[in-house]
Structure 1
Amino acid sequence: MAVTQGAAPAGRLAGDVVVVTGAARGLGAAIARAAAEAGAHVLLGDLDGPRADAVAATLVAAGHSARGTTLDVTSQQSVEASLQTVLEWQGRVTGLVNNAGRLIEADVVSLTEEQWDAVLDVNLKGAWRTTRAYVPAMIETGGGSIVNISSLEGLFARPAHVAYAVSKAGLLNLTRATAVDFGRSGIRCNAICPGSIETEMLTQHLEATGDADAAASDLIGRNRTGRLGRPEEVGATALFLLSGEAGFMNGSHVVVDGARGATT
């Protein structure tokens, strides 16, 4: 992947170096944009490397510092290559956002072992791979912040989402374990649990129901904000957790769901 770099403006993350996985679209792209606009140098990693490059190019065109790279979180070799890429580019890394995710819809009986493995290999084991690779490098240069993108389904289950829900629940305890094990080494690790956010993944889920409008209305009716969430709202939350403003938050999770989980 070609390096694309602009001048990072002053901001809440000025001079920080942030890596975002699954950054070519949806929440990952929104988080990468928020970090870049706040002054960070951002490496956008995604299985779709050309699309990650394209998103990075839009950030550079806007005067920010960004670079795209192909990143497959199911491959330790790919994860380690991404670490070397960011170290060669900026010399350090201060933030990691584990956002790469996969959803396969099936219940506990109909789900195949291959489908179970495919979802957990991305959503949970993928986050563990990147965390395992990046934490030593972050500690070596003074520590940093890790943000894991879990889900409201990490706290509550939805029908026919067993592998996704289990993976996102596991990600919450990976968050806690990382904070407990490395908090005194300068590592903060927190999670975000988004509700229904307007992303390509949600659109695909709604279309798969056969009546996307009705399915969207059902989701909207489950919260008390009266709409779906926007990717930039999750991006703003990630920006806070990456920043020093959240300096005493560690091992926590933040729910961004329009009060959906607060209702009975």
Structure 2
Amino acid sequence: MLLDGKTILITAAGQGIGAASARACAQAGARVIATDVNADLLAGLRDDRNIETRQLDVTDAGAIGALAADLPDLDGLFNCAGVVHHGSVLDLTDDDWAFALDLNVTAMVRMCRAFVPGLLRQADKTGSAAILNMSSMASSVKGFPNRTAYGATKAAVIGLTKAIAADFVTRNLRCNALCPGTVDTPSLRGRIAAAADPVQAERDFIARQPMGRLANVDDLTPTVVHLLSDGSRFVTGQAVLVDGGVTI
């Protein structure tokens, strides 16, 4: 199996892309440490013998450090946690901006700072380790209306990814960014429900996808598994688009 014998940590694994990725990595043979700030959301993963669940707030540097000290060295890290702020720069308060930056970017810095030493030790032993950071097609790749904080912070994720990749390319530690299109997740459903006209909001999200549908989480998980596996051992520093053709 693609991830046989590997230990993979995933943040925001309680639902959506994170939960689907945890299951897919476990099915591919990995031991998965699935984390989420909401411990209750992790309940659905606990029946899988290859998945261990841990509560983790990725905005808490102390909690991250304690978890890193308690776990074996990782083979892979998927930084999946994030938040979508809706609005233009005129709608963006300082608190909104600070929260988006902290969760979408600084949390990844904290996670990498804590876990890269162990990833490097594993890379020295096995010849391969990987980090995958959640970015978006709404980033330096493409701009979207009402996504100022989200687009800016997801662009920063791509820059962070390339910097980490460049720093450790000679040490067999790869770092890539995943850039999805519009994915049907609980987060998206929440944004649709909060719209003035939810039916039209859903139509608008679908309309921007040339394939004529939203992505589902299983459209993304094969790429997640690939980028965490040795099958992508010559791929690093890339913003990998899985967007249904939006950015053709």
Give the TM bin, normalised by the shorter chain: over 0.9
Matched, 1:71 2:56: yes
Q: Secondary structure at the match of 1:124?
A: helix
Q: Which whole-Å CA distance do the structure 2 matches of 1:114 and 1:215 have between them?
A: 26
1:21·1:98 contact (CA, 8 Å) conserved in 2?
Answer: yes
1:34 matched residue in structure 2: 24
Matched, 1:189 2:175: yes
- 1:60-139 residue pairs with structure 2 within 5 A? 60=49, 65-87=50-72, 92-139=73-120
1:147-170 per-position Cα deviation (integer Å, ceiling 9, x unaligned): 111011112222222111111000
Of 163, 175, 180, 2:166 maps to 180
1:43·1:86 contact (CA, 8 Å) conserved in 2?
Answer: no
Stretches of structure 1 lacking an aligned partner (at least 5 in a row): 1-10
Runs of 4+ in 1 over 4 A off after TM superposition: none
- 1:50-61 residue pairs with structure 2 within 5 A? 50-52=40-42, 54-60=43-49
2:10 matched residue in structure 1: 20
Task: State the AA in 2 paired with 1:97.
Answer: F
Question: How far off is 1:55 after superposition?
Answer: 3.0
Task: State the AA in 2 paired with 1:69.
Answer: R
Question: How far off is 1:205 after superposition?
Answer: 1.2
1:5 matched residue in structure 2: none
Q: Which whole-Å CA distance do the structure 2 matches of 1:226 and 1:104 have between them?
A: 24
1:52-100 per-position Cα deviation (integer Å, ceiling 9, x unaligned): 2x1331323xxxx11111111111111112223332xxxx210000000
1:90-149 per-position Cα deviation (integer Å, ceiling 9, x unaligned): xx2100000001122222122111110001100000011101111111112225100111
Percent identity at matched positions?
Answer: 34
Q: Secondary structure at the match of 2:138?
A: helix
Task: State the AA in 2 paired with 1:103.
Answer: V
- What is the number of residues matched between the two proteins? 243
1:211 matched residue in structure 2: 197
Question: How far off is 1:220 after superposition?
Answer: 1.6
Stretches of structure 2 lacking an aligned partner (at least 5 in a row): none
Q: Does 66-75 or 155-164 show the bigger shift?
A: 155-164
Q: CA RMSD in A?
A: 1.2
Q: Which whole-Å CA distance do the structure 1 matches of 2:69 and 2:34 have between them?
A: 14
Matched, 1:229 2:215: yes
Q: Secondary structure at the match of 1:140?
A: helix
